[in-house]
A and B are shown apart, each in its own frame.
Chain A
Amino acid sequence: MAALLGRELRVALKAGSGALMGVLFFLAVVTVFPFAIGPDLNQLGRLGPAILWIGALLASLLGLDRLFALDREDGSLDVLVLEAHPLMATVIAKCLAHWLVSGLPLILATPLFGVMLNVPPLGIAAVMATLAAGTPAITFIGAAAAATAAALPRGGLLVAVLTLPLTIPVLIFGITATNGALFDPDPFTAPFLILLALTLFSAVLGPLAAALMLRHSAE
């Protein structure tokens, strides 16, 4: 598995664009929002966490369709499926690698974008914490959809359509926890723990479904 993780990371970093593209898209989304809602810093500060979360959500959906499609194109997927490892472990390793190169940079970019949106430091910290807890769930859920769509033309759109409704809980608890940290009466711990629970749950369900899908549909 370490070998797979290493290979995935090397491929992503060599091909380069993958990780940076997500951050670039994140930046573009964040930039578009002030044009839509006006440059008023107070308002932006209030909406900032939400903007950051939506940007990160969309950006992490961006590369998901390639999770298995690329391996399928060059024939690696067949060989990966063939080997002795539990398919679910293979899927988890791929998800982990994908998150490291596409999810983690988003979190690292959050402070910069947060400052641009006038989000207070505490809010930025909260957004980073909730993103770190929540974005893996998006990758895991998306893996199931990505496995389905690996063989399809225009699979990318389908992955987004299938994944987005399932990530609504992640978004809800991510934002709720962030607001809980910022505004006093709201709780932070409870929604944050639920967010963690969602991620753990997705880490089982998503790879399980993806492995089942890869096993059955390697046609």
Chain B
Amino acid sequence: MRFEADTLSVNRGLRRVVQDVSFSLGEGEVLTVTGANGAGKSTLLRALCGLLPLAAGRLRLAGLGEGEDDPLIFREHLHYLGPQNAMKAALSIRENLAFWRDFSGGSDGLEIEQALRAVELPHVADLPFSYLSTGMRRRVAICRLLVSKKPVWIVDEPTSGLDRSASELFAGLCRAHCADGGILVAATHLPLGLGKAQTLAMETLFTVFEGDAFFDGEEA
């Protein structure tokens, strides 16, 4: 399985935020996306998940067979960890994680207890999510990637709110994911301590569509 991008461009409204990004990741490989605030890291990651339309370029999850060219189809094989935690504050940790496990239909991931132990929070399963501190919430959000198994992780600022040891913990989980043949795309300011990572440094673009090309966000 390979995750490939060929000269991707992404627009937000009238602005081009990502221009001509290409990469090719094989099993066990990591891409770290770096860049200043507003450089388009989040936009790129959302586009990789098919959450934003591509203005140009191609995205491929090779080895999937039918639909490998269409982000709207292959995105079900991605785990996306966005800036928010995607957990309901009123529900308990167990309910939250069980929901995501059932909803993504995966039963081949870790048990909820195991996953919580992996992020060193074995004692919180039955507490409401809202009782946790920021760092603990983030760690629970990371658990979502563990309870159902998917080959590609796309994580946006995964360690925001995490202290040094928790970041180390996450880096360890990522290494385990890659050792298992997984692919990882991470946008982060902090070094994750991952070996043999490709790096994509993004720069802030101020390209606005010229004259005739700006209307649909497509090149005319």
Tell me which residues from 47 to 99 in chain A have a Cβ below 8 Å from any Cβ of chain B.
73-76, 78-85
B52 surroundings in chain A (CB, below 8 A): 218-219
How many chain B residues touch A (Cβ–Cβ < 8 Å)? 31
The answer to the question of A154 belonging to the interface, with a C-beta cut-off of 8 Å to chain B, is no
* B102 and A10 form a contact (CB under 8 A): no
Shortest beta-carbon distance from A93 to chain B in Å = 10
- C-beta contact mask, B60-100 vs A, less than 8 Å → 1, else 0? 00000000000010011010101111111111000100111
Nearest residue in B to A93 (C-beta to C-beta)? B103
Q: How large is the interface on A (under 10, 10 to 19, 20 to 34, 35 or more residues)?
A: 20 to 34
Which of B12, B53, B104 is close to A83, meaning CB atoms less than 8 Å apart? B104
Interface class of chain A by DSSP: helix
* B51 and A14 form a contact (CB under 8 A): no
A-B contact count (CB 8 A): 74
Nearest residue in A to B95 (C-beta to C-beta)? A10
The answer to the question of B49 belonging to the interface, with a C-beta cut-off of 8 Å to chain A, is yes
| A76-B104 contact, Cβ under 8 Å, with A82-B49, A83-B76 | no
* B90 and A14 form a contact (CB under 8 A): yes
Interface class of chain B by DSSP: loop
- C-beta contact mask, A33-52 vs B, less than 8 Å → 1, else 0? 00000000000000000000
A4 surroundings in chain B (CB, below 8 A): 99, 103
* A215 and B88 form a contact (CB under 8 A): no
Bound CA span A74–B82, Å: 10
- C-beta contact mask, A187-219 vs B, less than 8 Å → 1, else 0? 000000000000000000000000000011011
Residues of B within 8 A of A (CB): 12, 46, 49-53, 72, 75-76, 78, 80, 82-91, 95, 98-100, 102-105, 144
